[in-house]
A and B are shown apart, each in its own frame.
Chain A
Amino acid sequence: MTEGFVAPQVELTKVSKQYGNGRVVLDALDITIAKGEFVTLLGPSGCGKSTVLKLVAGLTAPSSGSIQVDGMTPTNARETVSYIFQDATLLPWRTVRHNVGLGLELEGVNGSRRKDKTSTLLGLVGLEHVADAYPRELSGGMKMRVSIARALATSPRLLLMDEPFAALDEMTRDRLNEEILRLRAQEQWTAIFVTHSVAEAIFLSMRIVVLAANPGRVHAIVPVEFPFPRTAALRSTPGFGDLVLRVSRTLREALPQ
């Protein structure tokens, strides 16, 4: 862990979100995420999990209630936040290297420091060999690695991940899950992760918030107590299997009847 690295705390208080057409997406949501915690939002589609991330990122405003990231409004806290989308959302006209450096470039970090940081991250995600390739030459898993590297390049203290591995095959997804944990072992950023894969949620997080849909609300909170560092072997332990069953059952209860 880096000296002086303080991960933020995220607090949602009675947050509701209603769209113009009257549909209530989130209803009086109360979630507190501790400093350095890895929380997964799990729930059926339509439960507003992605909306929660957008609210924390300040990309959309709540209809009522308040959201604080380290005591700041989401928009003011953006400097410390990175967002990983479901698609890799790379700029197709930039090489891998320049995609990874995008955040730094937008934030005005000068060329040589940007280059150092970009190279370090490309090494970290194992992509040095394609640094000068264009996104269309990469596989889905590699694109997602670029996206992760780009998110980490700006040294975020809060990472918001919106189903980042949903489009990938299972093997790639498992590998990237392990990689996420390995990367997080170096700098314990706070993480909010959205998925509808139960196994992924358990493998990654310290706490799972199960949401129910229509309107989106907290259905249950399941702590995940497997110690870190977690490795691929965890998935084949009986304890892991039991928890998958239990969380799946909870998730089924949360489904609309």
Chain B
Amino acid sequence: MKRRLVTFGNALGVFAALLLLWQLVLWIFRVPPFMLPSPWAVARAVVARFPSLLTSLSITAREAGGGLAASIVVGVIIALIFAQSRWVRRMLYPYTILLQTVPIVAIAPLILMWVGAGEVSVTLIAFIISLAPVIANTTQGLVSVDENLVHLFLMHNASPQQLLFKLRLPNAVPSLFVGIRIASGIAVIGAITGELYAGSSRIGEGGLGYSILYASSQLQTDYLFALVLAATVLGFGFFFIVMFFEWYFLHRWHESARTPDTE
């Protein structure tokens, strides 16, 4: 616990030093505020426009969260299909890689054209971009079961359902969480990127990505910084929520979820 406090203190110290450096750069080079606002101006922007900041944050959180939830559900279902046979995997796996390599900036305009601007298409973008890691990791977990455990189940005449629900699925949970952790990060990025293209159907109202675009067009650089800050907070938030669930489900039996403090 004490060590944790020290670590936290160090991180805080680094943060203070960065703020100081930022302020020094402004003083020494006399940077105009529309290029780089002072930390103080950013803080003021956060307070002054807190309600609209919160609205943007919650819109993006909804889109990223919805996309992530959909990719978890769909990803697990696809992984279950992949786990059925090597033949199915060989046939369909290349398309997963395709999903992973297609640049989201390239298909975003298409989705905008098909679905129209707004939260639905942004959620769709977040879903598409975060699907591949869930499929890949869950499939890996479903397939890589200790052969002797399979033999053990067969010795007790286990049904295919029992093999799936009592062996393969629980065995896949740790790697499912690896997938979700990766997916949660890129779902947020996907949502913000998506908003740059398809952010809002109404001028001046939208998620973080849309508002960043809008703020930069209006040269509201201090608010733009506040939005970037909010995006970071959102990314962290997603990460910690996933970490919590991972800890909750795995800490009793899986090594990866042990807290370092137990060493």
A residues apposed to B, CB below 8 Å: 54, 57, 59, 78-79, 81-83, 85-87, 89, 91-94, 102-103, 105-107, 134-136, 154
Contact = CB atoms under 8 A, between A and B. Distances in A.
A106 B166 contact: yes
Contacts, number: 57
A-B complex: 9 closest residue pairs judged by Cβ atoms: A106-B156, A134-B253, A89-B148, A85-B148, A103-B156, A93-B253, A106-B158, A93-B170, A92-B253
A82 B157 contact: no
Contacts of A102: 152, 156, 166
B167 A136 contact: no
Interface of B: 146, 148-149, 151-158, 162, 166-167, 170, 173, 252-255
Contacts of B167: 91
Contacts of B153: 106
A83 B254 CA distance: 25
Given A89-B146, A93-B173, A134-B252, A59 B154 contact: yes
Nearest to A162: B148
B255 A57 contact: no
A82 B155 contact: yes
B157 A106 contact: yes
A83 to B, nearest CB: 5
A159 to B, nearest CB: 11
B170 A57 contact: no
A111 B73 CA distance: 31
Contact of B151 (A59, A91, A136): A59
Contact of A91 (B149, B157, B158, B252): B149
Given A79-B157, A106-B158, A106-B166, A89 B252 contact: no
Nearest to A87: B148
A83 B170 contact: no
A103 B153 CA distance: 8
Contacts of A106: 153, 156-158, 162, 166
Contacts of A136: 253, 255
A107 B148 contact: no
Nearest to B152: A89
Nearest to A135: B253
A228 to B, nearest CB: 27
A78 B146 contact: no
A136 B146 CA distance: 16
